[in-house]
A and B are shown apart, each in its own frame.
Chain A
Amino acid sequence: MTDTPSSPTDPVDDDLLASLYLDGEATADERAQVEADPQLLARVRSFEAMAADLASVTPPPELARLQISAALDLFDEQQVPSTASTGTPGPTSGVTSLSERRDQKQSRGLPTWLSAAAALVLVVGGLGFVSTLGGGDDDSAASDVAMDDETDASESGASRVIEDTETSMAAAEIASDGAAEAMEDEVMDDEAMDDETADADAMEESSSDDGDEAGAPPSPIPLDELEAASAEEYLSLLIDQRLRPIEDSPCAGSPLVDGLFGVDSFIEVVYRGELSSLLVQEGVPSTAVIVGPTCEIALR
């Protein structure tokens, strides 16, 4: 192709420098060069404005609805056989059939994120009285979970999973001992809430419903804040508001936040063994953050 390097005095160099700078791909020397040159900075601003215009596209709302619906139908078709044939979750463990969840969603708009958050609180609270993790076994097991979701159910035995989308967590399974057991029914009741439109009114209405339930978190994340939050922000809020107790653990000051920022759109929370660890990972194992008394953290 015509991707020949430009000569040092070629004006194209300015564009290359400006592009690299704008995209965060410039070296320190290149950044310094750009920042020392007003014309290069002006070029950067010019490219930045073009980039903003390029990204500014609003899809037709109806088209979005139709296309997402079609994709969900395909997702359901793919998920149902894998679970129906075996009676156990398919390869993407914790991902439950959306047909069921959508059916339930029609009759109940409960924000499952609250339930999941409550579960998180219990689990994290449980961390305080749970003895130190079983060292390498758990570490490796947890890593396995991050790498291979097939191990989720089998290794942890009683482990259950909460899967989360951005503003709604669908509790697929939760199993744990002790206090979390008391949460199970509630969380299972709250299961399957994909908030179709993330509508604030619906969320607030659901919030009041949730407040009637025993075991609800004492101070839920403000709904408006949650709605506006990305998944990463949501998780950050979750950490800030729910996992504060672990600040006393060896995890304090860990790269936990960085790991959570790597989590994208939905998470699974897996309780392993006797609440000895908390695994937060993407719906399909990827970025994983494992928090426990021994501060095991695995990031991918």
Chain B
Amino acid sequence: MDLLLARHYERLYALCRRMARNDADAADACQEALMAIVRGLDKFQGQSTFRTWSHRVASNACLDELRRRQRRPIAVIEEPETISDGPDLDQQVADRLTIEAALPHMAEEFRAPVVLRDVMGMDYAEIAETLDIAPGTVRSRISRGRRQLAELLGNQNAPPERPNKSTTPPTPSS
């Protein structure tokens, strides 16, 4: 069981950390997630894989715990205003810092499905079940969430606008 939990811990912590506003909340939520798995073991009916079940249980516990805590004002971390256009040895670090700074600006309705997908690896159906929303809503929220995140990141990784679909005049790419 310890290895079972250890194996899932990093992913659960990542989920909680990406959803929480600070390390303390993430730690508490992660502990709740682990406890939820243990408490629910004897309720596991084998109707899904253990991985699916445990991720769902843990994700729900994590999100519930964070919702309880997230009634406080957001302590927004200042994101870097300028990111070098050119190649930079520190670019990866800068990107990561920017993601951490950008996440608090995402609405949870977008952030949760994106994080469940990208961190937990859930498919859309699992996300729909976990968040109790329609699969179609999962699709749109993930795509919109990613778009929002890309914009918050300064769109530095985004391709140029498509001239034939853009609602604004195309900008020449440098």
Which positions in A face B, CB cutoff 8 Å? Answer: 1, 3, 5-6, 9-16, 18-20, 23-25, 39, 42-43, 45-47, 49-51, 53-59, 63-64, 67-68, 70-72, 74-75, 78, 90-92, 95, 98, 102, 146-147, 165-168, 194-196, 198, 230-231, 262, 264-266, 282-287, 300
Nearest 6 CB-CB pairings of A with B: A42-B159, A57-B14, A51-B118, A59-B13, A286-B46, A165-B3
Q: Evaluate contact between A50 and B50: CB separation under 8 angstroms.
A: no
Considering only CB atoms, which chain B residue lies closest to A23 in the complex? B117
Other than the known A11-B165, A282-B49, A284-B50, what 12 A-B pairs have Cβ atoms closer than 8 Å?
A1-B137, A9-B165, A11-B166, A14-B165, A16-B140, A57-B10, A57-B14, A59-B14, A59-B30, A68-B2, A78-B39, A266-B3
Q: A19-B139, A25-B139, A57-B17 are in contact. Are A286 and B50 (CB under 8 A)?
A: yes
- With A59-B10, A282-B46 in contact, do A46 and B158 touch (Cβ < 8 Å)? yes
Contact A70 B159 (CB under 8 A): no
Residues 108-141 of B, flagged 1 when their CB comes within 8 A of A and 0 if not, give 0100001101110001100000000000110111
Instruction: Using CB atoms, name the residue of chain A closest to B159.
Output: A42
Q: How far is the CA of A92 from the CA of B4 in the complex (A)?
A: 15
Contacts of B34 in A (CB 8 A): 67-68, 70-71
Taking a contact as CB atoms under 8 Å apart, the answer to whether A12 and B147 are in contact is yes
Q: When chains A and B are docked, how far (Å) is the Cα of A147 from the Cα of B46?
A: 7
**A164–B143 alpha-carbon span in the complex (Å):** 39
Could you give, for residues 69-102 of chain B, a 1 whenever the CB lies within 8 Å of some chain A CB and a 0 otherwise? 0000000000000000000000000011001000
Bound complex: CA A47 to CA B159 (Å): 11
Assembly CA distance A136 to B27 (angstroms) = 50
A-B pairs with beta carbons under 8 A, tally = 205
Closest residue of A by beta carbon distance from B97? A53
Docked Cα-Cα span, A194 to B30, in Å, equals 22
Residues of A within 8 A of B48 (CB): 286
List of B residues within 8 angstroms of A19 by Cβ: 139, 142-143, 146
For residue B49, give the distance in angstroms from its CB to the closest CB of chain A: 6
Q: Which residues of chain B (6-31) have a CB below 8 Å from chain A?
A: 6-11, 13-14, 17-18, 27, 30-31
List 26 A-B pairs, Cβ < 8 Å: A11-B165, A11-B166, A12-B147, A16-B140, A18-B143, A46-B150, A46-B158, A50-B150, A51-B118, A54-B114, A54-B119, A63-B30, A64-B9, A67-B30, A71-B31, A71-B38, A75-B38, A75-B41, A98-B2, A166-B4, A262-B49, A266-B4, A284-B41, A287-B46, A287-B50, A300-B46
The answer to whether B118 and A58 have CB atoms under 8 Å apart is no
Question: Is B105 close to A, CB under 8 A?
Answer: no
Contact B31 A70 (CB under 8 A): yes
A59–B9 CB distance below 8 A:
yes
Q: CB-CB < 8 A to A74: which residues of B?
A: 35, 38-39
Main secondary structure of the interface of B (DSSP, over half): helix
Nearest CB of chain A from residue B117's CB, rounded to whole Å: 6
Bound Cα distance A92, B9 (Å): 22
**Measured CA separation A166–B17 after assembly (Å):** 25
Cα separation A57 to B54 with both chains bound (whole Å) = 19
Partner of A56, one of B9, B51, B54, B96: B96
Assess the A46–B5 pair: CB atoms within 8 A.
no
A10 surroundings in chain B (CB, below 8 A): 165, 167
Q: B18: which A residues are within 8 A, CB to CB? A: 54, 57
For the complex formed, measure the closest distance between the CB of B3 and the CB atoms of chain A, giving whole angstroms: 4
Residues from chain A with a CB closer than 8 A to the CB of B153 are: 50
Q: A46: which of B17, B35, B159, B161 is its contact (CB, 8 Å)?
A: B159
Contacts A11-B165, A72-B1, A286-B44: A50 and B13 contacting too (C-beta < 8 A)? Answer: no
Please, which residues of chain B bring their CB within 8 A of the CB of A92? Answer: 41-42
Q: Are B146 and A90 in contact, with the CB atoms below 8 A?
A: no
Mask, B50-64, CB within 8 Å of A = 1, is 110110000000000
> Is A20 in contact with B146, judged by CB distance below 8 angstroms?
no
Least distance between A224 CB and chain B CB atoms (Å): 17
Specify the chain B residue showing the minimal Cβ separation from A70: B31
A15 to B144, CA, bound (A): 7
C-alpha spacing A55/B27, complex, angstroms: 16
By the criterion CB–CB under 8 Å, are A167 and B50 in contact?
no
CB-defined contacts of B96 to chain A, threshold 8 Å: 53, 56
